[in-house]
Structure 1
């Protein structure tokens, strides 16, 4: 199985200062909120819904009209005066952005439709002028020595109230857990679990959404149709993690109440585990932002998190410069999913001016606000392969140390080098250069097999390659299980999960 090859038409938009941006179907797809938006945008082009398609002479602005449900057509535009920060506008009432009319406009351009040269509309010219003045003021401030934004002031009164509410949330969660343990897991019937779920809703007023989600995950585990043995083992693991989070959370919040000026913890994921939603500005202020990063996505999946009431889009990426593996996660609440951009697989290299990495211990979460895409090259794959861990005993030792932390990710991911991958009497296994083996299997966290693709790969793809592996420690078997997510060799990237 080879990596999917994207077939697309490409046009170049030229800036006055000579910069270029590639407008491709892959790039446009990355802008869309979800798959439905992509389909709707392409349908508009297929149905010839654009009676007017224009562009400026310098190719920095696309604008036109699209037929809608009303008498007047919708006016839409895509402004690329700053290539990596395009501005989209549309007169339609849609709450989705970019809307299908903007996507259709871009697909029409990428598909090679004729755009007539026209003067820039006056309203867009005015908006450009205002934006330029704002940038000039920022530049003047930077030259005057005010480049660093002022540190945000702490509202001590509001912070004290929030911390007190969070401590109350910890006390309530601990009370619920004690009730559950005292009564006994086996006594938690459907009626009892519904009561716990209702009581857990009170945590919504305590600014501890992370704790609330963890407790709901425990309730969902007890409600599941798993066998009694496996269900109780998983519940015990969740209880252990939740108790550890409550203890560390209480200590951390108590320390902050004693010192309101105490900086937010960046050595662990305790803030996010409790439920803090980090803002980009906060991460920058905490020194968690690096400049000029290039990342390659190695794996992607979307799944439903019932305990959080959200869809989760999760990608695993490698930074090409240092080999650090990071994860991106987009959370889309069930009720608002159609208004939140749905993430997807990326088969190009992402280039970003600023990469923010969340506090944590392993496979830390990352995000960026602006990006450009470029084709993946053989040099990129070679860079990835150089970062693969070659000693399996060292890798296993590292993973076991990660799993000892009750607050760490229970499914750590690592990039390993495989001298060969093949079948043994017990199934597939990967082997390092010293002959040490790691057995491969399906893990519960993913819920779908990736091993069924291996028989279709030629021998060269299974030899001297880098393998992205997700681990899982199972108490029922007492073994560390590993599932391959992707294979990378000199010629191709083979995604087993995408």
Structure 2
């Protein structure tokens, strides 16, 4: 029998609107027929629509972690609201009668099985795995264009620095924006985003001094990015047989979108990995022109804090699945890890869910870092590099959440403090929730925090994201 929970169905929906519509169908009993196969791997039924004929929908769990959605409705969303409603009805315990697998679905299953058999036969016979061959001429042309774009970006930065930030006016901003847009023809979207990060503070910050500080920080990042990118790309141009650098985040900074096949070839995958989400947020990245759904996960094997990020371009957001909070443990058949240090970004394609248990929570707590000085040293070493993640996420073991005047600090066993404050990067306050916590949460638990270094004050602070106890995860940031 399949294990379908409400949170699992939520994770399959494209967006919150699809979740609402699917739940409404189940709650309002719109399904005229609810059935399942004898082995429980197929859910199917009929749902009343706006026309005379009901929509026939099904969810096929024949391949673990890869449900197949079918529906006779005209929706272009997969899963559609009828598929979701069918699963919500099952998760809610509504009665499903046992029935034979419909003939059309049985035929489609047979075709899928034959395709899989052919793939297996080809693999057993030693057929090529489908590794892409590099077109050296095309690669050289692309890299040459990238180097040309980096040259243009260097001129823009030089022009801005020579003119001085105080000389930036509306006319100059418009010129910068137009020239930044031209970089879209040079295969360096990451550099283009970094340049937009210089323009945006002038557009959005009312405080001119605040805008200057943000621009100076971004200029330091951009200068390092341009210098390293130029050297790296020139090296690739000289040795076209060399593979892309899968040992650092530089390729992603330039704008390369890693494919799963590339990560496999680079050895950046692990099998059968379980993760538990500890925090989640959605935000808007104006420089990228995308909505971002970000989850913080504890790797139940290593204890590392991983990140998932789903990027949804403004123009195509409604066609891309919107991530949400997840409370189940997920087991990825294959976990792909992006190059980089710190909180490595991960992704998966096939995943199964199970309900989190007290054993899982205790396991996560055991990974919490007990020594604040060691954590602070590691965080400072990371953020001093211009292209490193500036807001590391760490799980800390604490002795007490203590009040210090009007603010709060986190204390370790030796009473060494870490200030708890709301950081501008998150844009969502959580410290006002600390006085509302039950007293049992104030001592000897684990806290997931995001760090920020306040340059002007020379102060390293942290914002609480969640508290992990042996029984539960208390989320302050969803």
Place the TM-score, normalised by the shorter chain, in its bin.
over 0.9
Give the Cα–Cα distance (whole angstroms) in 2 for the partners of residues 253 and 430 of structure 1: 45
For 1:45, the equivalent position in structure 2 comes to 26
Matched, 1:364 2:361: no
TM-score, normalised on structure 2? 0.96
Give the Cα–Cα distance (whole angstroms) in 1 for the partners of residues 74 and 181 of structure 2: 34
Q: Give per-residue Cα distances to partners, 1:106-152, cap 9 Å, x unaligned.
A: 22222333434333222211111111112222333344455x82432
Give the Cα–Cα distance (whole angstroms) in 2 for the partners of residues 169 and 436 of structure 1: 48
Matched, 1:227 2:207: yes
Whether the 8 Å CA contact 2:197–2:215 is kept in 1: the answer is no
| Cα distance, 1:56 vs structure 2 | 2.3
| Cα distance, 1:409 vs structure 2 | 0.9
Give the Cα–Cα distance (whole angstroms) in 1 for the partners of residues 35 and 112 of structure 2: 22
For 1:35, the equivalent position in structure 2 comes to 16
Tell me, what secondary structure is at the counterpart of 2:341?
coil
Give the Cα–Cα distance (whole angstroms) in 2 for the partners of residues 331 and 197 of structure 1: 22
For 1:347, the equivalent position in structure 2 comes to 327
For 1:8, the equivalent position in structure 2 comes to none
For 2:81, the equivalent position in structure 1 comes to 100
Tell me, what secondary structure is at the counterpart of 1:197?
helix
Matched, 1:301 2:281: yes
More moved, 151-160 vs 285-294: 151-160
Whether the 8 Å CA contact 2:275–2:330 is kept in 1: the answer is yes
More moved, 213-222 vs 242-251: 213-222
| Cα distance, 1:81 vs structure 2 | 1.5
| Cα distance, 1:425 vs structure 2 | 2.8
2:99 to 115, 118, 124: 118
Give the Cα–Cα distance (whole angstroms) in 2 for the partners of residues 62 and 233 of structure 1: 57
For 1:316, the equivalent position in structure 2 comes to 296
Give the Cα–Cα distance (whole angstroms) in 1 for the partners of residues 225 and 406 of structure 2: 38
For 2:245, the equivalent position in structure 1 comes to 265
| Cα distance, 1:360 vs structure 2 | 0.5
Give the Cα–Cα distance (whole angstroms) in 1 for the partners of residues 241 and 14 of structure 2: 39
Give the Cα–Cα distance (whole angstroms) in 2 for the partners of residues 142 and 177 of structure 1: 51
Give the Cα–Cα distance (whole angstroms) in 1 for the partners of residues 104 and 358 of structure 2: 46
Whether the 8 Å CA contact 1:190–1:223 is kept in 2: the answer is no
Matched, 1:280 2:260: yes
Tell me, what secondary structure is at the counterpart of 2:3?
strand
| Cα distance, 1:28 vs structure 2 | 0.9
Give the Cα–Cα distance (whole angstroms) in 2 for the partners of residues 362 and 154 of structure 1: 31
Give the Cα–Cα distance (whole angstroms) in 2 for the partners of residues 96 and 136 of structure 1: 29
For 2:377, the equivalent position in structure 1 comes to 397
More moved, 453-462 vs 61-70: 61-70
Matched, 1:496 2:468: no
Alignment of 1:135-150 (within 5 A): 135-145=116-126, 149-150=129-130
For 1:332, the equivalent position in structure 2 comes to 312
For 1:174, the equivalent position in structure 2 comes to 154
| RMSD, matched Cα | 1.7
Q: Give per-residue Cα distances to partners, 1:390-431, cap 9 Å, x unaligned.
A: 111111111111011100111111111111111013620011
2:357 to 377, 382, 391: 377
Whether the 8 Å CA contact 1:313–1:329 is kept in 2: the answer is yes
Q: Give per-residue Cα distances to partners, 1:40-86, cap 9 Å, x unaligned.
A: 11222344433333332322222223333445433221111123221
Q: Give per-residue Cα distances to partners, 1:81-100, cap 9 Å, x unaligned.
A: 12322111122222221111
Q: Which runs of 5+ in 2 are unaligned?
A: none
For 2:47, the equivalent position in structure 1 comes to 66
More moved, 102-111 vs 240-249: 102-111
| Cα distance, 1:32 vs structure 2 | 0.3
For 1:242, the equivalent position in structure 2 comes to 222
Whether the 8 Å CA contact 1:292–1:351 is kept in 2: the answer is yes
